[in-house]
Structure 1
Protein backbone atom coordinates (compact mmCIF):
# COMPACT_ATOMS: atom_id res chain seq x y z
CA UNK A 1 0.00 0.00 0.00
CA UNK A 2 1.55 3.27 -1.13
CA UNK A 3 0.54 6.41 0.74
CA UNK A 4 1.05 10.06 -0.02
CA UNK A 5 0.04 13.27 1.73
CA UNK A 6 -1.68 16.23 0.11
CA UNK A 7 -4.23 19.03 0.37
CA UNK A 8 -7.74 18.99 -1.13
CA UNK A 9 -8.07 21.99 -3.46
CA UNK A 10 -11.39 21.26 -5.17
CA UNK A 11 -14.28 18.83 -4.91
CA UNK A 12 -15.15 16.46 -7.73
CA UNK A 13 -18.45 16.43 -9.60
CA UNK A 14 -21.52 16.14 -7.36
CA UNK A 15 -22.55 12.54 -6.77
CA UNK A 16 -19.16 11.06 -7.70
CA UNK A 17 -17.65 11.21 -4.22
CA UNK A 18 -14.26 12.42 -5.43
CA UNK A 19 -11.95 15.29 -4.62
CA UNK A 20 -8.96 16.84 -6.36
CA UNK A 21 -5.78 16.74 -4.30
CA UNK A 22 -2.44 18.55 -4.66
CA UNK A 23 0.45 16.43 -3.46
CA UNK A 24 4.11 17.30 -3.18
CA UNK A 25 6.58 14.89 -4.67
CA UNK A 26 7.96 12.64 -1.96
CA UNK A 27 11.40 11.11 -1.64
CA UNK A 28 10.06 8.03 -3.45
CA UNK A 29 9.52 10.21 -6.54
CA UNK A 30 13.18 11.29 -6.50
CA UNK A 31 14.38 7.75 -7.22
CA UNK A 32 11.72 6.98 -9.84
CA UNK A 33 13.07 6.64 -13.37
CA UNK A 34 9.99 8.33 -14.88
CA UNK A 35 9.77 11.28 -12.49
CA UNK A 36 10.14 13.79 -15.33
CA UNK A 37 7.49 12.12 -17.47
CA UNK A 38 4.93 11.81 -14.69
CA UNK A 39 1.68 13.28 -15.97
CA UNK A 40 0.66 14.78 -12.66
CA UNK A 41 3.90 16.55 -11.97
CA UNK A 42 5.67 17.60 -15.11
CA UNK A 43 8.75 19.56 -14.10
CA UNK A 44 7.20 21.10 -10.99
CA UNK A 45 7.03 19.94 -7.42
CA UNK A 46 3.24 19.59 -7.11
CA UNK A 47 1.02 16.97 -8.69
CA UNK A 48 -2.77 17.07 -8.99
CA UNK A 49 -4.81 13.90 -8.77
CA UNK A 50 -8.48 13.01 -8.51
CA UNK A 51 -9.11 10.69 -5.56
CA UNK A 52 -12.05 8.81 -4.07
CA UNK A 53 -13.18 10.81 -1.05
CA UNK A 54 -14.07 8.06 1.42
CA UNK A 55 -12.87 10.13 4.41
CA UNK A 56 -15.33 12.97 3.64
CA UNK A 57 -12.55 15.54 3.21
CA UNK A 58 -13.36 19.16 2.33
CA UNK A 59 -11.48 21.86 0.45
CA UNK A 60 -8.40 22.89 2.43
CA UNK A 61 -8.09 19.62 4.38
CA UNK A 62 -4.68 17.98 4.72
CA UNK A 63 -5.20 14.33 3.80
CA UNK A 64 -3.49 10.98 3.34
CA UNK A 65 -3.95 9.20 -0.01
CA UNK A 66 -3.77 5.45 -0.44
CA UNK A 67 -2.83 3.88 -3.77
CA UNK A 68 -3.36 0.13 -3.97
CA UNK A 69 -0.07 -1.60 -4.71
CA UNK A 70 -1.61 -4.30 -6.91
CA UNK A 71 -3.27 -1.69 -9.13
CA UNK A 72 -0.07 0.32 -9.26
CA UNK A 73 1.92 -2.74 -10.35
CA UNK A 74 -0.64 -3.67 -13.02
CA UNK A 75 -0.59 -0.15 -14.43
CA UNK A 76 3.21 -0.11 -14.37
CA UNK A 77 3.33 -3.42 -16.26
CA UNK A 78 0.88 -2.08 -18.84
CA UNK A 79 2.91 1.09 -19.40
CA UNK A 80 6.45 -0.23 -19.32
CA UNK A 81 6.63 -3.99 -19.90
CA UNK A 82 3.75 -4.59 -22.33
CA UNK A 83 5.16 -2.39 -25.16
CA UNK A 84 8.52 -4.15 -24.96
CA UNK A 85 6.89 -7.58 -25.05
CA UNK A 86 4.75 -6.46 -28.01
CA UNK A 87 7.86 -5.28 -29.85
CA UNK A 88 9.63 -8.59 -29.25
CA UNK A 89 6.54 -10.52 -30.38
CA UNK A 90 6.37 -8.39 -33.52
CA UNK A 91 10.03 -9.06 -34.29
CA UNK A 92 9.47 -12.81 -33.92
CA UNK A 93 6.37 -12.69 -36.15
CA UNK A 94 8.32 -10.65 -38.71
CA UNK A 95 11.10 -13.23 -38.65
CA UNK A 96 8.62 -16.07 -39.28
CA UNK A 97 6.84 -14.18 -42.08
CA UNK A 98 10.18 -13.39 -43.74
CA UNK A 99 11.18 -17.06 -43.72
CA UNK A 100 7.80 -18.06 -45.24
CA UNK A 101 8.05 -15.38 -47.95
CA UNK A 102 11.76 -15.79 -48.60
CA UNK A 103 12.62 -12.12 -47.92
CA UNK A 104 15.07 -10.27 -45.69
CA UNK A 105 14.36 -11.37 -42.09
CA UNK A 106 15.96 -8.34 -40.44
CA UNK A 107 13.90 -5.82 -42.39
CA UNK A 108 10.58 -7.55 -41.71
CA UNK A 109 11.53 -8.16 -38.07
CA UNK A 110 12.15 -4.45 -37.59
CA UNK A 111 8.98 -3.49 -39.47
CA UNK A 112 6.76 -5.90 -37.52
CA UNK A 113 8.50 -5.03 -34.24
CA UNK A 114 7.75 -1.32 -34.64
CA UNK A 115 4.24 -2.07 -35.91
CA UNK A 116 3.45 -4.17 -32.82
CA UNK A 117 5.10 -1.51 -30.64
CA UNK A 118 2.76 1.13 -32.08
CA UNK A 119 -0.25 -1.16 -31.69
CA UNK A 120 0.72 -1.67 -28.04
CA UNK A 121 0.24 2.05 -27.40
CA UNK A 122 -3.21 1.93 -28.96
CA UNK A 123 -4.06 -1.00 -26.67
CA UNK A 124 -2.64 0.92 -23.69
CA UNK A 125 -4.77 3.96 -24.55
CA UNK A 126 -7.97 1.92 -24.81
CA UNK A 127 -7.20 -0.14 -21.70
CA UNK A 128 -6.21 2.98 -19.75
CA UNK A 129 -9.53 4.66 -20.49
CA UNK A 130 -11.41 1.55 -19.42
CA UNK A 131 -9.39 1.10 -16.23
CA UNK A 132 -9.69 4.77 -15.27
CA UNK A 133 -13.38 4.21 -14.55
CA UNK A 134 -12.61 1.44 -12.03
CA UNK A 135 -12.35 2.57 -8.42
CA UNK A 136 -9.47 0.18 -7.73
CA UNK A 137 -7.21 2.22 -10.03
CA UNK A 138 -7.94 5.57 -8.38
CA UNK A 139 -6.19 6.82 -5.25
CA UNK A 140 -8.38 6.99 -2.15
CA UNK A 141 -8.43 9.56 0.63
CA UNK A 142 -8.16 7.42 3.75
CA UNK A 143 -7.52 10.00 6.45
CA UNK A 144 -8.01 13.70 7.15
CA UNK A 145 -5.07 15.10 9.13
CA UNK A 146 -6.34 18.66 9.61
CA UNK A 147 -7.43 21.79 7.85
CA UNK A 148 -5.03 23.99 5.91
CA UNK A 149 -6.07 27.51 4.92
CA UNK A 150 -4.42 28.57 1.67
CA UNK A 151 -2.86 32.08 1.67
CA UNK A 152 -5.65 33.40 -0.58
CA UNK A 153 -8.28 32.46 2.00
CA UNK A 154 -6.89 34.60 4.80
CA UNK A 155 -9.47 36.49 6.78
CA UNK A 156 -9.06 40.24 6.48
CA UNK A 157 -10.16 42.24 9.51
CA UNK A 158 -11.59 45.70 8.86
CA UNK A 159 -9.41 48.54 10.05
CA UNK A 160 -10.81 50.87 12.65
CA UNK A 161 -10.04 54.54 12.70
CA UNK A 162 -8.80 56.06 15.96
Structure 2
Protein backbone atom coordinates (compact mmCIF):
# COMPACT_ATOMS: atom_id res chain seq x y z
CA UNK A 1 0.00 0.00 0.00
CA UNK A 2 1.36 3.41 -0.99
CA UNK A 3 1.04 5.89 1.86
CA UNK A 4 1.39 9.64 2.36
CA UNK A 5 1.19 11.84 5.43
CA UNK A 6 -1.04 14.89 5.60
CA UNK A 7 -3.23 17.17 7.70
CA UNK A 8 -7.03 17.12 7.63
CA UNK A 9 -8.30 20.55 6.61
CA UNK A 10 -12.01 19.81 6.07
CA UNK A 11 -14.43 17.03 7.01
CA UNK A 12 -17.75 16.51 5.22
CA UNK A 13 -20.91 14.73 6.31
CA UNK A 14 -20.64 12.36 3.33
CA UNK A 15 -17.81 10.39 4.95
CA UNK A 16 -14.95 12.13 3.19
CA UNK A 17 -12.22 14.45 4.38
CA UNK A 18 -9.90 16.85 2.58
CA UNK A 19 -6.26 16.28 3.46
CA UNK A 20 -3.40 18.68 2.71
CA UNK A 21 -0.36 16.70 1.59
CA UNK A 22 2.74 17.06 -0.53
CA UNK A 23 2.87 15.79 -4.13
CA UNK A 24 5.03 12.76 -4.69
CA UNK A 25 5.91 10.62 -7.68
CA UNK A 26 2.96 8.36 -6.79
CA UNK A 27 0.59 11.12 -7.88
CA UNK A 28 1.50 10.79 -11.56
CA UNK A 29 0.09 7.28 -11.87
CA UNK A 30 -2.91 7.68 -9.62
CA UNK A 31 -6.31 7.17 -11.22
CA UNK A 32 -7.88 9.46 -8.66
CA UNK A 33 -5.53 12.35 -9.30
CA UNK A 34 -8.48 14.28 -10.75
CA UNK A 35 -10.01 14.41 -7.27
CA UNK A 36 -6.86 16.13 -5.95
CA UNK A 37 -6.34 19.85 -6.28
CA UNK A 38 -3.05 21.69 -6.36
CA UNK A 39 -2.72 24.57 -3.91
CA UNK A 40 -1.10 27.49 -5.70
CA UNK A 41 0.69 25.35 -8.28
CA UNK A 42 3.33 24.19 -5.78
CA UNK A 43 4.07 20.83 -4.28
CA UNK A 44 1.22 21.01 -1.76
CA UNK A 45 -2.16 19.64 -2.72
CA UNK A 46 -5.54 18.83 -1.27
CA UNK A 47 -6.75 15.24 -1.59
CA UNK A 48 -10.33 14.13 -1.03
CA UNK A 49 -10.10 10.92 0.99
CA UNK A 50 -12.52 8.38 2.40
CA UNK A 51 -12.58 9.09 6.12
CA UNK A 52 -12.81 5.56 7.52
CA UNK A 53 -10.73 6.48 10.58
CA UNK A 54 -13.05 9.28 11.75
CA UNK A 55 -10.41 12.00 11.51
CA UNK A 56 -11.22 15.57 12.51
CA UNK A 57 -9.94 18.91 11.23
CA UNK A 58 -6.32 19.42 12.29
CA UNK A 59 -5.47 15.73 12.74
CA UNK A 60 -2.25 14.48 11.21
CA UNK A 61 -3.16 11.39 9.23
CA UNK A 62 -1.70 8.68 7.05
CA UNK A 63 -3.58 8.24 3.79
CA UNK A 64 -3.19 5.12 1.69
CA UNK A 65 -3.73 3.93 -1.85
CA UNK A 66 -4.06 0.26 -2.76
CA UNK A 67 -0.93 -0.90 -4.57
CA UNK A 68 -2.82 -3.07 -7.06
CA UNK A 69 -4.99 -0.11 -8.01
CA UNK A 70 -1.92 2.08 -8.35
CA UNK A 71 -0.28 -0.46 -10.67
CA UNK A 72 -3.41 -0.75 -12.82
CA UNK A 73 -3.57 3.02 -13.13
CA UNK A 74 0.14 3.23 -13.97
CA UNK A 75 -0.29 0.64 -16.72
CA UNK A 76 -3.26 2.53 -18.12
CA UNK A 77 -1.43 5.87 -18.13
CA UNK A 78 2.05 4.82 -19.23
CA UNK A 79 1.98 1.47 -21.06
CA UNK A 80 -1.41 1.33 -22.79
CA UNK A 81 -0.85 4.40 -25.05
CA UNK A 82 2.54 3.08 -26.20
CA UNK A 83 1.11 -0.38 -26.94
CA UNK A 84 -1.76 1.27 -28.83
CA UNK A 85 0.66 3.31 -30.93
CA UNK A 86 2.70 0.22 -31.79
CA UNK A 87 -0.48 -1.69 -32.71
CA UNK A 88 -1.62 1.18 -34.93
CA UNK A 89 1.77 1.33 -36.66
CA UNK A 90 1.76 -2.43 -37.31
CA UNK A 91 -1.81 -2.34 -38.62
CA UNK A 92 -0.94 0.61 -40.87
CA UNK A 93 2.07 -1.26 -42.22
CA UNK A 94 -0.05 -4.33 -42.99
CA UNK A 95 -3.13 -2.69 -44.55
CA UNK A 96 -1.33 -0.03 -46.61
CA UNK A 97 -0.64 -2.29 -49.62
CA UNK A 98 -4.32 -3.37 -49.73
CA UNK A 99 -5.39 0.27 -50.27
CA UNK A 100 -2.43 1.41 -52.37
CA UNK A 101 -1.10 3.69 -49.62
CA UNK A 102 2.50 4.31 -48.75
CA UNK A 103 3.36 1.85 -45.96
CA UNK A 104 5.40 4.35 -43.87
CA UNK A 105 2.70 7.03 -44.21
CA UNK A 106 -0.09 4.63 -43.19
CA UNK A 107 2.02 3.27 -40.34
CA UNK A 108 2.76 6.72 -38.90
CA UNK A 109 -0.81 7.96 -39.41
CA UNK A 110 -2.49 4.96 -37.80
CA UNK A 111 0.15 4.83 -35.07
CA UNK A 112 -0.59 8.40 -33.99
CA UNK A 113 -4.34 7.93 -34.38
CA UNK A 114 -4.26 4.90 -32.07
CA UNK A 115 -2.00 6.82 -29.66
CA UNK A 116 -4.42 9.74 -29.36
CA UNK A 117 -7.43 7.44 -29.16
CA UNK A 118 -5.67 5.63 -26.32
CA UNK A 119 -5.30 8.92 -24.44
CA UNK A 120 -8.99 9.61 -24.92
CA UNK A 121 -9.78 6.15 -23.57
CA UNK A 122 -7.37 6.67 -20.65
CA UNK A 123 -9.18 9.91 -19.78
CA UNK A 124 -12.61 8.22 -19.87
CA UNK A 125 -11.37 5.25 -17.83
CA UNK A 126 -9.69 7.59 -15.34
CA UNK A 127 -12.96 9.38 -14.69
CA UNK A 128 -14.77 6.06 -14.15
CA UNK A 129 -11.98 4.67 -11.97
CA UNK A 130 -11.86 7.77 -9.76
CA UNK A 131 -15.47 7.13 -8.73
CA UNK A 132 -14.69 3.62 -7.51
CA UNK A 133 -13.71 3.27 -3.86
CA UNK A 134 -10.77 0.98 -4.63
CA UNK A 135 -9.11 3.77 -6.63
CA UNK A 136 -9.60 6.48 -4.00
CA UNK A 137 -7.35 7.46 -1.16
CA UNK A 138 -8.40 6.40 2.34
CA UNK A 139 -7.39 7.68 5.75
CA UNK A 140 -5.86 4.58 7.27
CA UNK A 141 -4.51 5.99 10.52
CA UNK A 142 -4.64 9.09 12.67
CA UNK A 143 -1.36 10.13 14.24
CA UNK A 144 -2.64 10.82 17.77
CA UNK A 145 -1.48 13.81 19.79
CA UNK A 146 -0.21 15.69 16.75
CA UNK A 147 -2.76 18.43 16.06
CA UNK A 148 -1.69 21.45 14.09
CA UNK A 149 -1.24 24.64 16.05
CA UNK A 150 -2.24 27.18 13.45
CA UNK A 151 -5.00 26.08 11.05
CA UNK A 152 -5.19 29.52 9.40
CA UNK A 153 -2.19 28.70 7.22
CA UNK A 154 -3.67 25.28 6.32
CA UNK A 155 -7.02 26.57 5.08
TM-score normalized with structure 1 length: 0.80
What is the correspondence of 1:5-154 to structure 2 with a 5 Å cutoff? 5-12=5-12, 14-15=13-14, 17-25=15-23, 29=25, 44-145=42-143, 146-152=146-152
For the residue of structure 1 that corresponds to 2:131, the secondary structure is: coil
For the residue of structure 2 that corresponds to 1:132, the secondary structure is: helix
- Is contact 2:58-2:151 (8 Å) kept? no
Deviation at 1:11, TM superposition (A): 2.1
TM-score normalized with structure 2 length: 0.83
Partners of 2:9 and 2:98 in 1: CA distance: 60
The 1:132–1:151 alpha-carbon spacing in structure 2 relative to 1, beyond 3 Å, is closer
Runs of 5+ consecutive residues of structure 2 not aligned to the other structure: none
Matched length:
144
Partners of 1:151 and 1:138 in 2: CA distance: 25
Q: Which one is further off, 63-72 or 97-106?
A: 97-106
Runs of 5+ consecutive residues of structure 1 not aligned to the other structure: 154-162
Cα deviation per residue 1:135-158 (whole Å; 9 max; x = unaligned)?
0001110111132233528xxxxx
For the residue of structure 2 that corresponds to 1:44, the secondary structure is: coil
Partners of 2:58 and 2:131 in 1: CA distance: 26
Partners of 1:151 and 1:48 in 2: CA distance: 14
- Is contact 2:4-2:64 (8 Å) kept? yes
Partners of 1:52 and 1:46 in 2: CA distance: 19
- Displaced runs of 4 or more, over 6 A: none
Partners of 1:45 and 1:103 in 2: CA distance: 49
